[in-house]
Amino acid sequence: MPMELASKLRQLLGNDAVADDAETLGAHSGDKWFAAETPEVVVFAKSTSDVSKLLKFASQNKIPVTARGAGYGYVGGCVPVRKGIALSLMRMNRIKEIHFPDAIALVEPGVITADLKAAARASKLFYPPDPASMKDCTIGGNATNAGGPRCLKYGVTRNYVIGLEVVLANGEVLRTGGRVHKNKTGFDLIGLFVGSEGILGVVTEITLRLLPLPPARATLSAAFATTGQAAEVVQEIFAAGFLPSSLEIADHFTLEAARRDLRKMIVPAGNAHLLVDLDGQEESVHSEAAAIRELLATKKPNTLEMATGEADCEKLWALRREFSNSLRATGLTKLNQDVVVPRSHLVDLMEFAETLQAKYGFSIACFGHAGDGNIHVNIMTKDYIDPEMREKVDRTLDDLFAQVLAWGGVITGEHGIGLAKKRWWPDATSEVVRELHRKLKQSLDPHNILNPGKFVD
């Protein structure tokens, strides 16, 4: 059967578009999460027409199709759990257009996020979303509605998508929106597809709204004795009417790991670290950075640094960008939970993580987007392949998510549900919400061929 499927697909799409050797199959069996399933065939689409032909064929033959980008997701969203076809969009990687007067980019889904950002910048334009994996992840993969530190001021991926071409499950091609910055033509079909994790359709072209490129930037870095102090500063920055582009926090475990790992880099003393980023016009950024520096100083930080200009700002950010690597350098497996809490529960969340540490014996490192209340709670574990250990991690997460939900928070802010959070999908939603998901899925993909086996099933 696998052989037969591959040869049918070769007939349909050409030899070059289809692979079923063990290595290629293995390379398309999962993402950065801890689950894998080998597809029967990998298809590399080069055009909308390829995707359309493939989905028409798959629909007629009821074969699962799991679309994927670079495989940098954190929730196993592109694991082909029902086998069938893994559909790679990595060859659809053209930046078709960057247009200054219309302030838009027209791209294919396989474009790497950082490449798009650079191309926009070269045209004096700005694509704000900056997920940590931006040098590897694709715009199509950002269809989990990816964020990043700059979301605080600029919003998530969804806020920048103004046009989509989507191939529906039956192979029909839907085009919605376009190069206009405002649009109220009917229902929000763009919102329906962005963040749908490959379950409702396959995106083949994206029009992105771009902003004017802010000419200047400043970064402030401060370390405090307690996370409580850092969280207080966050609220005071808002109370003074500032909307920084980023407001990042890290806890003492994260800092400790960085201290052990980054011998050459000076990690500030303290149990909580805050990074504040500002962007805009030169004079504005300078005067605002000076004002926030004063505000930070009143809280008696252990250390306080300020940088202006891209290069010096990036030096202060280097530490933040190394956190994930430093945590991995502990030798433990890092299980990153992108929970979000209402902003007033920031300290509660970090304190709760400490009680979990005591109860279950895992080290837990918290860092992330303080301004959004979107904190990455990283459970650090060894032997994660051991089923008993997995079960213990799951029980820890049962506790964590129950508490987050009790505060009115959510179990994912950026990464999506995928497979990784399927266990908690019923806790995170009501039956009415789940039923509406099933209805939407049924409407758009009646044979359940698109990314089956994920949270909607």
Residue 274's φ and ψ, nearest 5 degrees, are -125, 135
CB of 175 to its own copies, least distance (A): 6
- Which sign, positive or negative, has the C-alpha torsion 195, 196, 197, 203? negative
- Cβ-based nearer residue to its own copies, 17 or 210: 210
Distance (Å, whole) CA 109 – CA 184: 24
Residue 140: what residue type?
Answer: G
**Smallest separation (angstroms) from its own copies to the CB of 369:** 8
What span, in angstroms and rounded, lies between the C-alpha atoms of 403 and 364?
16
Are 164 and 17 in contact by the 8 Å Cβ rule? The answer is: no
Q: Given the complex with its own copies, which of 247 and 316 has the nearer CB atom? A: 247
CB of 297 to its own copies, least distance (A): 18
Instruction: Give Dmax over CA atoms of the chain in angstroms.
Output: 71
In the bound state with its own copies, the residue whose beta carbon lies nearer, of 189 and 389, is 189
Cβ-based nearer residue to its own copies, 75 or 258: 75
Q: Are 85 and 58 in contact (CB under 8 A)?
A: yes
**Strands 161-167 and 173-177: what pairing?**
antiparallel
Nearer to its own copies, 140 or 270 (CB): 140
- Residue 162 neighbours by CB under 8 Å, 6+ apart: 104, 177, 178, 179, 180, 181, 183, 190, 207, 208, 209
Q: Strand, coil or helix: what is 114? A: helix
- Beta carbon of residue 39, minimum distance to its own copies (angstroms, whole number): 24
Tokens describing residue 433: 């919400």
Q: Give least dist CB 103 to its own copies, A.
A: 6
Measured from the CB of residue 392, what is the shortest distance to its own copies in angstroms? Answer: 25
Q: Which two tokens stand for residue 246?
A: 């980023």
Nearer to its own copies, 101 or 387 (CB): 101
CB nearer its own copies, residue 19 or residue 169? 169
Which C-beta is closer to its own copies: that of 36 or that of 174? 174
Rounded to a whole number of angstroms, the minimum distance from the CB of residue 311 to its own copies is 18
Q: Are 221 and 250 spatial neighbours (Cβ–Cβ below 8 Å)?
A: no
Residue 102 vs 354, nearer CB to its own copies: 102
Rounded to a whole number of angstroms, the distance between the first and last alpha carbons of the chain is 25
What phi and psi, each to the nearest 5 degrees, are found at residue 180?
A: -110, 145
Q: Which is nearer to its own copies, 49 or 303 (CB)?
A: 49
Do 146 and 171 meet the contact criterion of CB atoms below 8 Å apart? Answer: no
DSSP-derived secondary structure letter, 446: T
Phi and psi angles of residue 347, each rounded to the nearest 5 degrees, phi first: -70, -40
Query: CB of residue 385 vs its own copies: minimum separation in angstroms?
Result: 27
For the CB of residue 118, give the shortest distance to its own copies in the complex, in Å: 17
Shortest gap between Cβ of 266 and its own copies (angstroms)? 31
Task: Using DSSP, state whether 140 is helix, strand or coil.
Answer: coil
Smallest gap from residue 412 Cβ to its own copies (A): 5
In DSSP terms, which residues pair with 216 in a beta bridge?
280
C-alpha 189 chain-centroid distance: 21
Residue 423, Cβ density class (10 Å: 0-12 exposed, 13-18 middle, ≥19 buried):
middle
CB 11, min distance to its own copies, A? 27
The CA distance from 45 to 92, in Å, is: 7
Q: Which burial class, exposed, middle or buried, applies to 342 when counting CB atoms under 10 A from its CB (0-12, 13-18, 19+)?
A: middle
**Nearer to its own copies among residue 180 and residue 297 (C-beta):** 180
Q: Cα–Cα distance between 287 and 164 in angstroms, integer? A: 40
